[in-house]
Amino acid sequence: MMEFQPGEERGKDGRRIIKVRKEDLVSTLSKLKSEGYIHLSLITGVDRKDFIEVVYHLHSFERNEYISVKTVTYNSEVPSVTSLWKSADWEEREEYDLVGIRFIGHPNLKRLFLPENWVGHPLRKDYDLKNVQYINVDEEGEDYATFDPGDGW
């Protein structure tokens, strides 16, 4: 396994990829935002088994240019960028839901698609698809996940 080195490289399609440590993530992104990369396009979490790679895709309307910022985390924790972009709110919730990255400092870190007590994060490589879970609704209209089918099923 390669050691993660901060720095800059070119991607397969010629775009800039900036690699930073997760401690410098927020400062790098806010610097890029002040440089004109005001459109946060996508936040992706990639489960690499030993660690999780978090990729941010930014876009600048003025320069008409794309850039990606990459960081890694070994304990599934990454600082949140909701203070910089409001669109990061739902994107981070989605990545928390499906990949299981905990964004430190997020105001409302809840699952976006699945119910709150769903076991496991489906886009992790070690997620067991054979472990079937069901969803039921309680009296207050909130969903909850169970391993037992229950009455409705």
Partner 1 sequence: MVAMSDWVELNIGPHHPSTHGVLRLKARVEGEMVREVEPVIGYLHRNAEKLCENTFFCDNIIYFDRMDYVGAPGMEVGYLEAAEKLLGVFPPERAVWIRTIMAELSRIASHLIWLAAFGLELGMLTPFFYCFDLRESILTIFVEASGSRLLTNYCSIGGVYQDFNEKITDEVEKFVQDAPKKVEEINSLFIKNDIFISRNKGIGVLDKNVAIEYGVTGHMLRASGVEYDVRKAEPYLAYSKVNFEIPTSTKGDNLARYLVRIEEIRQSIKIISQSIKKLPEGPFFNPKAKKSMMIRLRGDGEVYARTESSKGEFGVYIVGDGGVKPYRVRVRSPSLRNLSVMRELGRNVMIADLVSILGTTDLVFGEIDR
Partner 2 sequence: MKTGDPGILTTTLEKALEWGRSNSLWPLTFGLACCAIEMMAIQASKVDISRFGSEIFRNSPRQSDLMIVSGTVTKKMAPRVKRLYDEMPYPKYVIAMGVCVIQGGPYVEGYSVVLGVDRVIPVDVYVPGCPPTPEALTYGLMTLQKKIRGEATR
Phi-psi region of 16 (alpha: psi -120 to 50; beta: other; left: phi over 0): beta
Among the candidate windows 13-21, 28-36, 81-89, 112-120, which touches partner 2 by CB under 8 A? 112-120
Cβ neighbour number for residue 75 with a 10 Å cutoff: 9
Identify which of residues 23 and 50 has a Cβ nearer to partner 1 in the complex: 50
Report if residue 94 touches partner 2, rule: CB under 8 A.
no
Report if residue 38 touches partner 1, rule: CB under 8 A.
yes
Residue 28: in which H helix or E strand, if any? Answer: helix 25-34
The Cα–Cα gap between 100 and 140 comes to 27
The binding site for partner 1 (CB under 8 A) comprises 11-13, 15, 38-42, 44, 46-47, 55, 57, 61, 64, 66, 68, 85-87, 89-91, 94, 98, 112-114, 122-123, 127, 129, 141
